[in-house]
Amino acid sequence: MTRPAAIAALDAGEAVRVRLWPAAFGRATPVLFLLPAVLLTGILAVGLVMALDSSLRPLDPMTYRQAAAWSLGNYEQLAGRPAYLWILGRSLLAAVLVTALCLVLALPYAYCMVRTASPALRKLLLVGLFLPFFIGQVVRAYGWLLVLGQEGLLNEALAGLGLARVSVLYTFPAVVMGLAQYMLPFAVLLLAPAVVAIDEDVEAASAGLGASWTRTFRHIVIPMARPGLIGAGIVVFTITLTDYAMPQILGGGTNDFIANAIYDAFFRLSNAGVGSALSVLLVLLGSTLVALLMAVAGAGTMALAAGEDR
Amino acid sequence: MTGHGKPVDRSRISRRGAIAAGAGVLGAAALGKAGGLVLPRPAFAQEPEKPAELIVRAWGGVWVESLDAAVSRTFTEKTGIAVRHDLTEDNEIQPKIWSAVDQGRVPPLHVFWDTTTNATKSAFREVCLELDTESVPNLEGLLPAAKPTGFESWPIVNTYAYVYVLAYRDAAFPDGPPDSWSVMLDPKFQGRVALYNDGIGFEPVAVVMGGGSMADIPDNMQPAWDFYEKLRQQRPLLGEDPDFTAWFQRGEIDVACTIISNARAARQAGIEVSWTVPKEGAKVDTDGMWIPQGLPENEAYWAKQYINHALEPDVLADWCARLGLPPLREGLPGPDDLKGDPAYPVTEADYARLLRIPTPVLVQHQPEWFARFKDIMQS
Amino acid sequence: MSRWPRSQAILLWGVVVFDLVFLALPTALVLVASFTAGDVIAFPPDGWSLRWYQALLERPAFVDAFLRSLWVATVCAVVSIPAGTLAALALVRWRIRFRGALQVYLLLPFTVPLIASGIAMMLLFGQLRLLGSLWPVGVGAAVVNLPFMIWAVSASANGLDPDLEDAAASLGAPPLHRFLTVTLPAVMPGVITGALIMFILALNEFIVSLLLTDARTVTLPVLIYSSIRSVLTPDLAAVSVVYVVVAVVAILALDRLVGLDVFLRSRRN
């Protein structure tokens, strides 16, 4: 398009705009801008209300249909099954372990990636990060099956060294390892901007005053990276807590998380009410934890528009 | 129980009737006669339009391979209709079909190959298309056990029986086959024992091993829960059909409670795996096929043709021989390697050695047992 | 890194090297396994060949599922690009009433666990008779990942100088002109980054698809998942390599169009 043609097209567009959205509507323009996103998210909100409704209708075991009248039967049923507490405990433990592991592994990565003087090295680190980030969970879990299986790389290597084979696959540690690997790129990406924001001169000053690097790290870098650490921690924690694929694929059936219990209630026990009740509880648990963490640590890290910091 | 609509009430009545009818038909029926001539196929002036493909739900591994080789490919040769196999687990797709039928959508598959227990649930929920000898002439000549318990009609058709055997790696038992399920508790097999991930097929064994008897089912399942508790200490692997074959192939397990077909598939793949029916017995059950309601008429017609084809004597014989399972049709030859195998029941005496739970009892209690099994294994 | 003390360099770079191996190992193994000439997956492989890629082309189920995933990813991108871009601009440019509540609302897809989002949409789409079609799967992927799009755009909108728009306005440029010639170009890097991320996430989307698809609409990640549950054959490794290739292409595109280090910018700048 030549320049005048482009301007003509713009003018034509402007004319249509004036017709459809006259200047008098100006004050409502932000609403117009927000509407699509609000409607899209509304799909989720309406669905959640339906899940809440379904959670209040117990299953009639004679007909495999949900009751017409509301009651708390599904929640009572959940309370009566200690296994759900075990599953919840396991999910929480895994979330804590994975979060700790990811933060410990991510901070040096983010730090080196930001601070390295070599652009080539920085690019290598970025690619090393994005490659797994862009490969989905199922494919990566499949990779772990090849690493950890009875005849996988790990055991072949051990056998090659004359050592005994180990059964890691289908255990809790395998699930934690798979999840840590899955979450690590998220953690680094969320941490990196916080590391960028740390003024190198402050570190230099600390070193200049005779502080060892470990002291500088502990008293300057980590506190200043705190918003990033908390943001990354929240994301890693909540996604891990509610993950389905890793425990399903690497857990061998005995390492279920809450998400697996929800899926099972819907699709193995054909009990949508109990599954919905579990989902509702999981939403409450997740939101409460996020709200608590944000209240303690400040909302800045999770905000959608950084503009509000101003 | 609040005011449900008519269909619901009817299914409740039929279920009550079924439970009253009670006792297992399977063994006693195995020898019964249900002969009769195969009716001539009704002559259609014009066959309904052929769909591009039929979607048939199947289990993975040897299950889908045998169905494909014996039934689906020959069906495609005969009719030109391609068959796609959906390997979603039966329990998982069942609620999707129920909601599709409830909501008036086209169900996501044409033929559901399913356990009789699960299929019976769908029949009670009235989502199955009725089969009859007019549209599926090969329903004639099946053994009485092929007919679902508690129904006047044919919402489903059972196709073969199978035994949940004790499968074991030969190398792990140099002194000969284990004679009791108690080997599952042997400390040397810790982490190397496998069961189905909902405990299916193991319940009667667990009751017996826990000190109970078949008479305790379903009212007193405590012995089974006690036994599961002990078994949990062994850190068993829990999986689905293809997992067992794969685990034996990859050397992950030594002992499993699984359907004979999975163990036989591992052996046919060159793995030294055998199976046995221990002295306590082993559970016997059946599988069946059904068609969901709500398909376009022509697709429903061809889905019935598929089931009819699967029940064709030579097709059924081939299919079941590949699976290593006794078909529910009279006078079909079994595979040579299973002659006289207690896990390949043919006579009433064979069935008497096995443990069976009537379908109505399973329909009513199995979900609760699955949940309990999960509870224990997840703790 | 000569200016770092030796102990710092060793420790930090030691962790980085470990991370790199940890991140790359499963993918590398999938790559290696896919080129085996043998019938089973083994390390080292029994010779090299492309036979499993050949086998893949002969399995229409995988090809169909891949095409469906591409379609889902396209729907997701088409839906989320305008929705996310406009919302991000609105949040950055205008002082909006109930901003806090709106933020919490728009963050629902992140605070609601994926399994619960999937269940919620399964119930809603089922009620609307939409289950069984493919496009709702794309919409579902757009819903659960929308905050990524808003984030990406708002990050570059913060770099937007409000004076520029004001200058354009004072020169007499009407609103649509200003939007298309000043605002949009300024946030383009964010739009591109966000769109690419949405596309890739939808292509990989698993749990929501597991709940929203059936045999007629199964997408590639779900098909891979149900196939891993049976025997691990090298053709699965070959199909997984599709994702490695897509990831490499996406990284090259991202680097070329906006530069990978866009992610290293501090939010405050």
Chain segment C90-129, per-residue pLDDT in tens: 988 887 778 888 988 998 998 899 999 999 999 999 999 9
Q: How far apart are CA A55 and CA A71, in angstroms?
A: 9
**CB under 8 Å to B207, separation ≥6 — which residues?**
B213, B214, B216, B217, B221, B223, B224, B227
Global confidence as pTM:
0.86
Regions of chain B short of the pLDDT cut 70: 1-45
Q: What is the mean pLDDT of residues C187-192?
A: 91
Partner-chain residue, chosen from A69, A90, A269, that has the shortest CB–CB distance to B371: A269
How confident is the model at residue B45, as a pLDDT? 54
How confident is the model at residue B8, as a pLDDT? 36
Structure tokens that stand for C129 in this block: 């008779």
Minimal-distance CA residue of chain C relative to A181: C23
- Angstroms from C251 CA to nearest CA on chain A: 7
Q: Do A253 and B191 touch (CB under 8 A)?
A: no
Q: Do A17 and C111 touch (CB under 8 A)?
A: no
How confident is the model at residue C191, as a pLDDT? 94
Helices (H), chain C: 6-34, 51-57, 60-93, 99-106, 108-111, 114-127, 135-157, 162-170, 175-178, 184-204, 207-212, 220-228, 234-257
User: Who has greater pLDDT, A120 or A27?
Assistant: A120
Q: Are C257 and C188 in contact (CB under 8 A)?
A: no
Chain segment A199-235, per-residue pLDDT in tens: 888 888 888 888 888 888 888 888 888 888 988 998 8
Q: Are B279 and B25 in contact (CB under 8 A)?
A: no
The residues in A 194-223 lying below 8 A from B, measured between CB atoms, are none
Chain segment C12-43, per-residue pLDDT in tens: 999 999 999 999 999 999 999 999 888 878 77
Neighbours of chain C (3+ CB pairs under 8 A): A, B
Q: What is the mean pLDDT of chain A?
A: 88
Q: Are A136 and A120 in contact (CB under 8 A)?
A: no
Partner-chain residue, chosen from C126, C215, C230, that has the shortest CB–CB distance to B99: C126
Beta bridge partners of B255: B168, B193
Q: Do C266 and A197 touch (CB under 8 A)?
A: yes
Chain segment A23-60, per-residue pLDDT in tens: 766 777 888 899 999 999 999 999 999 999 999 999 88
Whether B51 and chain C come into contact, CB under 8 Å, resolves to: no
Chain segment B83-130, per-residue pLDDT in tens: 999 988 888 889 899 989 988 899 999 999 999 999 999 998 899 999
Q: Are C164 and C182 in contact (CB under 8 A)?
A: yes
Q: Give me the percent of chain C exceeding a pLDDT of 90.
A: 55
Chain pair A-B, CB pairs under 8 angstroms: 93
3-state secondary structure of A302: helix
- Angstroms from C218 CA to nearest CA on chain B: 10
The residues in B 89-148 lying below 8 A from C, measured between CB atoms, are 93, 96, 99-100, 103-106, 108-109
Q: Are B242 and C230 in contact (CB under 8 A)?
A: yes
Q: Do C120 and A192 touch (CB under 8 A)?
A: no
How confident is the model at residue C266, as a pLDDT? 54
Q: How far apart are CA B63 and CA B76, in angstroms?
A: 18
Q: Are B148 and B158 in contact (CB under 8 A)?
A: yes
**CB under 8 Å to C142, separation ≥6 — which residues?**
A40, C75, C76, C77, C79, C80, C83, C198, C202
Q: How far apart are CA C123 and CA C98, in angstroms?
A: 29
CB count, 10 Å around CB of A274?
27
Nearest Cα neighbor of B358 from B107, B17, B24 is B24
Q: Do A61 and B364 touch (CB under 8 A)?
A: yes
**CB under 8 Å to B314, separation ≥6 — which residues?**
none
Partner-chain residue, chosen from A65, A86, A149, that has the shortest CB–CB distance to B378: A86
Q: Do B1 and A60 touch (CB under 8 A)?
A: yes
- Angstroms from C248 CA to nearest CA on chain A: 7
How confident is the model at residue B41, as a pLDDT? 52
Chain segment A138-170, per-residue pLDDT in tens: 999 999 999 998 778 888 889 889 888 787 888
**Which residues does C contribute to its contact with B (CB < 8 Å)?**
61, 126-127, 129, 131-132, 214-216, 226-227, 229-232
Structure tokens that stand for A212 in this block: 């060892």
Burial C75-94 (b: 16+ CB within 10 A, else e): bbbbbbbebbbbbbbbbbbe
Q: Do C243 and A36 touch (CB under 8 A)?
A: no
Nearest Cα neighbor of A251 from A179, A174, A181, A180 is A174
Q: How far apart are CA C132 and CA B97, in angstroms?
A: 11
Instruction: Answer yes or no: is pLDDT of C10 > 80.
Output: yes
Whether B242 and chain C come into contact, CB under 8 Å, resolves to: yes
Residues in A touching B238 (Cβ below 8 Å): 252-254
Q: Do C132 and B105 touch (CB under 8 A)?
A: yes
Whether A63 and chain B come into contact, CB under 8 Å, resolves to: yes
Chain segment C193-233, per-residue pLDDT in tens: 999 999 999 999 999 999 999 888 999 999 999 888 666 77
Q: Do C131 and B100 touch (CB under 8 A)?
A: yes
Chain segment A249-292, per-residue pLDDT in tens: 998 788 999 999 999 899 888 889 999 999 999 999 988 888 88
Q: Do B240 and C215 touch (CB under 8 A)?
A: no
Measure CA C231 to chain center. 29
3-state secondary structure of A26: helix
Partner-chain residue, chosen from C11, C30, C115, that has the shortest CB–CB distance to A142: C30
Whether A43 and chain C come into contact, CB under 8 Å, resolves to: yes
Instruction: Answer yes or no: is pLDDT of A178 > 90.
Output: yes
Q: How far apart are CA A62 and CA A271, in angstroms?
A: 12
Minimal-distance CA residue of chain C relative to A51: C120
The answer for B61, left when phi > 0, alpha when psi is -120 to 50, beta otherwise, is left
Partner-chain residue, chosen from C24, C251, C268, that has the shortest CB–CB distance to A134: C251
